[in-house]
Amino acid sequence: MTRIFVNGLVWPQANRPAGPEPTALAVRDGHVVACGTDAEIRELAGAGAEEIDLGGRRLIPGLIDGHMHAVRGGASWARELRWTDVPDLAAGLGAIRAAARRAEPGDWIRVVGGWHPCQFPESREPTRAELDAVTTDHPVYVQALYEAAVLNSAALRAAGIDAASADPPGGRFERDPVTGEPTGRVFGMGAFNHVLSAVPPATPEEERRSTAVMFADLHALGLTGLVDAGGFGMPPQRYEPLFALWREGGLSMRMRLFLSATDPGQEYAQLVDWMRHTPSRFGDPMLAFLGIGEVVHFGCHDFEGLEDFAISDAAIDELHRICAHAAERGWPVNIHAVVDESIDRILTCWEAVDERIPVGGLRFTLSHGDRISARNLKRLKALGAGLVLDDHHVFKAASSERAWGAGSLAAVPPIADLLAAGVPLAAGTDATRACSHNPWLALWWLITGRSADGTARRGAEHRMSREQALDCYTAGSAWLSFEETTRGRLVPGAYADFAVLSEDYFAVPVDRIPLIRSELTVVAGEVVHSTG
């Protein structure tokens, strides 16, 4: 049966043909039939079509996050709090207090990334004493991005941290300089993992249900697809909750998976094993393997680019072996790279691969690319490779500017140069820990160049128009998985994936963009979220 959506404002794609804006959309069998005026679409659909009145609302292609660690985040989503939209410290503590009232005795209460103190007027994390004042019956753990975490006294006891505890490898427990007692603040992945390992593990069924809850929450923001970037600590068994959801027919989000190495020194063997047993793009319209990344080799991963880092010759040789094997197998490669020195070495590796096996049609991409130079931008374009933009500088702008120098963020990233060169651009968040999962915050950042502390650091010439930003977040992200003609745009034959917005993205004041939500989200013509 044909379903038509009328009396709206339909944005089918960037650079749409000149003429009046479409007001209606026709959908049949999970695909778009046509966009047009209400009269045109009613005539096309004929008698018997189901009609939905949009009430003048804006309808856009479903958003596709081009870089999210959703599989990892989904497994614990339902057991965590999120401070993404929390306006101040009092509201954050209030959310913990409310969670403590609902929790069973001894349950952990966790906020694990996705927020930063710069979004608060207080510009700081809570203290151990403030967390103790909220609850002494529950261990509480509050992590700000990957910068620091704060524990209450119950969490310190549960994690076995006291004055005699040695710092874990790759981490540090802050101590009172007089008494030597832990303050409750911890730093580094080693410390974060030490604490989180004390949390009782979820059952496979709990992780499956939690992943479904996460997808429902993301649909409420207008997301219909995610490109999962793999990342640290993602061996094959971590994908079981997602696969279970898919097997039972409960997967409502289109998922495209990058697969990462998990152990330093074993990168080639592990990634070759992934590629040996799984062809690229194997799957169905809802779930498919895509490529390898974003952790391809640990020695080539420059983290946030804020500390001295250099890719060794040994690491680049191993990266070449991996990328050459991927190219032979037809696999896309995505690599995390922030600073230009890292980008330079990676591109030299890709050019060497390209001499023997052309990579131009394989959708090789860099994630972040914050400090890419004009020279390397041209090399990226010549290879036919792309770049995935993310908004981590919503929160990290101040610390990056301290590390890179005053005024250094004026062209981070150099959006005008990327657009002028015609480099394929996707957009995402790098959620769920390194940044907020809110796509509208990312779109606001692309448009304004501002950070959560209110400072505009990116120059006006390197800010996107609303149409450019939305194109990156729809068809641009679909490009990563070779689907730019069937996803991310509402043209005849494309998947009927779209969102009806609470406010008109193209007309609302710019500072309201992060507050936009979806009132109706549709995947393959079926409603996956509705406010009623």
Domain assignment present for residue 62? The answer is: no
**CATH number of the domain residue 120 falls in:** 3.10.310.70
Are residues 192 and 223 located together in one domain of the fold?
Answer: no
Residue 398 lies in a domain: yes
302 shares a domain with 254 = yes
| Strand-pair category, 50-53 with 3-6 | parallel
Domain identity same for 126 and 212: no
Is the pTM value of this prediction over 0.95?
Answer: yes
In a domain, 72, yes or no: no
Residues 331 and 442 reside in one and the same domain: yes
Does residue 208 sit in the same domain as residue 192? no
Report the distance separating Cα 374 and Cα 379, nearest Å: 9
- Which H helix or E strand runs over 257? strand 254-259
Last residue of a domain, one of 196, 215, 244: 196
Q: For the chain, how many structural domains are there in total?
A: 3
Model pLDDT, residue 301 = 96
Q: Whole-number mean pLDDT of the chain?
A: 97
For residues 349 and 426, membership in a common domain is answered with: yes
pLDDT digits (tens, 9 = 90+) for 75-131: 999 999 999 999 999 999 999 999 999 999 999 999 999 999 999 999 999 999 999
Buried b (16+ CB within 10 A) or exposed e, 381-396: bebbbbbbbbbbbbbb
Nearest CA-CA partner of 453 in 373, 395, 512 = 395
Domain stops at, among 178, 196, 214: 196
Separation between Cα atoms, residue 183 and residue 186, nearest integer Å: 8
Residue 477 sits in the same domain as residue 498: yes
Calculate mean pLDDT across residues 501-507: 98
**At which residue do the structure tokens 């990334």 appear?**
113
Q: How do residues 135-174 score in pLDDT, each as one tens digit?
A: 999 999 999 999 999 999 999 999 999 999 999 999 999 9
- CATH number for the domain spanning 22: value is 2.30.40.10
Residue 226, strand partner residues: 65, 255
CA nearest to 431, candidates 284, 288, 217: 217
Give the model's pLDDT for residue 455: 86
Same domain, 314 and 417: yes
For residue 66, being part of any structural domain is answered with no
Chain-centroid distance, C-alpha 482: 19
Do 190 and 229 sit in the same domain of this protein? no
pLDDT band per the 50, 70, 90 thresholds, residue 489: very high
Q: pLDDT tens for residues 334-369?
A: 999 999 999 999 999 999 999 999 999 999 999 999
CATH number at residue 355: 3.20.20.140
- Domain of residue 10: give its range: 3-56
